[in-house]
Chains A and B, each alone.
Chain A
Amino acid sequence: MKYMILIHSNPQFTERWEALTGDQRDNFGRGHFTLTDGLAASGELVMSEGLADPSLGRRVTRGDSQTVVSDGPFAEAKEHLAGFYVVDCESPERAIEIAAQVPDAIWGLVEVRPVLDMSGWDLDG
């Protein structure tokens, strides 16, 4: 079963991040590398990426005749996605266990979402 672990962020989080010492930030980064390596070694990692600053985001709208691209950041968005992990693991409990190891989880900014799959069903047996 695949799960996406989303790492959210917001302006308060950015402030707290700025306040960290260099060592603390290094530990944060190392925490991500350690987690990624561990998931690769256990055969559970599908992919993991950190996302560039939301100011580099582009909003894309496709109209009938042309595609309109507008710059970020999106003023109305209080939260943004800072990064994600996609894991393929045995149980939802395991996905939560993995999410708890994401360094950002100490700030409560980590969310686990099951990925929809193509599995079917047979209601009448």
Chain B
Amino acid sequence: MTADTRTLEDTLRDAAPRVLGVLLRRYGDFGSCEDAVQEALIAAATTWQADQLPANPTGWLVTTASRRLIEIWRNNSARRRRELTDVLQVVQGEPDDRPDGDDSLALLFLCCHPSLTPSSQVALTLRALGGLTTAEIGRALLVPEATVAQRISRAKARIKATGAVFGDPSVMDLAERLPAVLHILYLIFNEGYTSSSGTSLHRVELTAEAIRLTRQLHHRLPQDGEAAGLLALMLLTDARRPARSRPDGELIPLRHQDRTLWNAAAIAEGIALITSTLKAAALGPYQVQAAIAAVHDEAAHTRDTDWPQILSLYELLQTMTPGPMVTLNRIVAVAMVHGPAVALGQLERAADDPVLADHYRVDAVRAHLLDELGLHTEARDCYQRASRRTLSLPEQRYLLAQARNHRPDE
């Protein structure tokens, strides 16, 4: 993105973690600093003009947030008075030192602290790193603003209680906690992507936000294969969004999508990234998932897809992160390579595993395979059973439509 095309909002969002980083380095106290930055961002959003930003936006925000922090502390208990004196000296002594360091990594690690629940980690990351307001996060996550506010304040209290401090993560922290950080970014992406059909326009922003944050992380840790793999996975998945649903919100499965609608630039970037990463880095599950997405995105049609390669990638993924969804997706690939009868046999064996036996998507995959075998009546029953068990509205609509397509008289 060039300086010319940057909007006011982009400037604020980019500045948010850096301003918070400066405040945290100076004053500590994550909870109050984060509140102060949030208020400075709101002040900027209402007073700045898009065509006339301050000469030094970050400096302006640091100054405003510092003043606001002092007010917050002034309103707090007398215990704070001595700290306040120190702060006043610091603020007056260093009027506008523009930070050039990047604190986003340290901040991300603090927001994804292991003592927090995933929903709190998501809310805090979106606010502290994404610069989103509590109301915007509430709209994106489809929960009331008060609920988000409570998650954030509870998360801050917990971080304080654990005594976690803001600082550059050590090599050991990185190795230990990066998977959780990546998982939170993945959750944010998924929250937006899986819901980007239908009426929830706001939620599309979550995918953009997740990509932006993951891109930042990848720039900070270019050697990390999984950060790169996650970014590639997001780019390659999000590229299909324009073809993924009809205007009425109805989902279109991958095999029926109009692939000319896919975002070619995102696909090219994703493929280049995953290709170079697979050569250089230690292999991990996000890279394998990105590789699978890349194989899909490279094909102009389902029948052109390199299914044997997809199958071997799913087999690899299953050894790394076994789970019901990996098993079911692998079985779909088996059907494409070895035919639906072989896949159905594998599905029935896999369904003996109690973890999978009750999984709501077993019937959906079974229906698809029966359909391929021409057993339409049996398929219809499975589609109906599957539609009763799903928790997803678009999926329910799709499965019911499939069941209707297989009336016995047809």
Interface residue ranges, A against B (CB under 8 Å)? 1-2, 40-47, 88, 90, 114-125
Q: How far is the CB of B245 from chain A (nearest CB, A)?
A: 8
Q: Which residues of B contact A121 (CB under 8 A)?
A: 194, 251, 361, 364, 392, 394-395, 398
Q: Quick one: CB contact mask for B342-379 with A, threshold 8 Å, 1 for yes?
A: 00000000000000000001001100100000000000
Q: Are B195 and A88 in contact (CB under 8 A)?
A: no
Docked complex Cα distance between A124 and B244 (Å): 13
B146 lies within 8 A of chain A by Cβ: yes
Q: Are B364 and A123 in contact (CB under 8 A)?
A: yes
Q: Which 7 A-B pairs have the closest CB atoms?
A: A43-B151, A119-B194, A43-B150, A118-B195, A116-B393, A125-B329, A119-B392
B118 lies within 8 A of chain A by Cβ: yes
Q: Are B310 and A117 in contact (CB under 8 A)?
A: no
Q: How far is the CB of B42 from chain A (nearest CB, A)?
A: 22
Q: Are B254 and A118 in contact (CB under 8 A)?
A: no
Q: How far is the CB of A111 from chain B (nearest CB, A)?
A: 16
B32 lies within 8 A of chain A by Cβ: no
Docked complex Cα distance between A2 and B197 (Å): 18
Q: Are A117 and B151 in contact (CB under 8 A)?
A: no
Docked complex Cα distance between A44 and B154 (Å): 11
Given A123-B253, A123-B368, A90–B392 Cβ distance below 8 Å?
no
Docked complex Cα distance between A107 and B93 (Å): 66
Q: Which residues of B contact A88 (CB under 8 A)?
A: 119, 141, 143, 147
Q: Which residues of A contact B193 (CB under 8 A)?
A: 120
Q: Are B393 and A46 in contact (CB under 8 A)?
A: no
Of A42, A47, A122, the residue contacting B150 (CB under 8 A) is A42
Q: Which residues of B contact A41 (CB under 8 A)?
A: 150, 154
14 residue pairs A–B, Cβ–Cβ below 8 Å:
A44-B147, A88-B141, A90-B118, A116-B391, A116-B396, A117-B391, A117-B393, A118-B200, A120-B196, A121-B361, A123-B364, A124-B302, A124-B332, A125-B310
Q: Quick one: CB contact mask for B188-209 with A, threshold 8 Å, 1 for yes?
A: 0000011111101001000000
Q: Quick one: CB contact mask for B316-355 with A, threshold 8 Å, 1 for yes?
A: 0000000000000100110010000000000000000000
B117 lies within 8 A of chain A by Cβ: yes
Docked complex Cα distance between A46 and B254 (Å): 34
- The residue on A at minimum CB distance from B154 is A43
- The residue on B at minimum CB distance from A47 is B144
B120 lies within 8 A of chain A by Cβ: yes
B255 lies within 8 A of chain A by Cβ: yes
B296 lies within 8 A of chain A by Cβ: yes
Q: A124-B336, A125-B332 are in contact. List 18 more A-B contacts (CB 8 A).
A: A42-B154, A46-B144, A47-B144, A88-B143, A88-B147, A118-B203, A118-B249, A118-B393, A119-B194, A120-B193, A120-B194, A121-B194, A121-B361, A121-B392, A121-B394, A123-B368, A124-B254, A124-B332
Docked complex Cα distance between A46 and B143 (Å): 6
Docked complex Cα distance between A121 and B392 (Å): 8
Docked complex Cα distance between A15 and B269 (Å): 68
Q: Are B120 and A43 in contact (CB under 8 A)?
A: yes
Q: Which residues of B contact A1 (CB under 8 A)?
A: 391
Q: How far is the CB of B146 from chain A (nearest CB, A)?
A: 7
Q: Which residues of A contact B142 (CB under 8 A)?
A: 2
Q: Which residues of B contact A43 (CB under 8 A)?
A: 119-120, 123, 147-148, 150-151, 154
Given A46-B147, A47-B144, A125-B314, A120–B251 Cβ distance below 8 Å?
yes
Docked complex Cα distance between A18 and B311 (Å): 64
Which B134-175 residues sit within 8 Å CB-CB of chain A? 141-144, 146-148, 150-151, 154
B12 lies within 8 A of chain A by Cβ: no
Q: Which residues of B contact A120 (CB under 8 A)?
A: 193-197, 244-245, 251, 392, 394-395
Q: How far is the CB of A57 from chain B (nearest CB, A)?
A: 26
Docked complex Cα distance between A19 and B329 (Å): 57
Given A124-B302, A125-B314, A125-B332, A119–B391 Cβ distance below 8 Å?
yes
B65 lies within 8 A of chain A by Cβ: no
Docked complex Cα distance between A122 and B257 (Å): 11
- The residue on A at minimum CB distance from B333 is A125
Q: Are B119 and A122 in contact (CB under 8 A)?
A: no
Docked complex Cα distance between A47 and B332 (Å): 40
Docked complex Cα distance between A55 and B388 (Å): 32
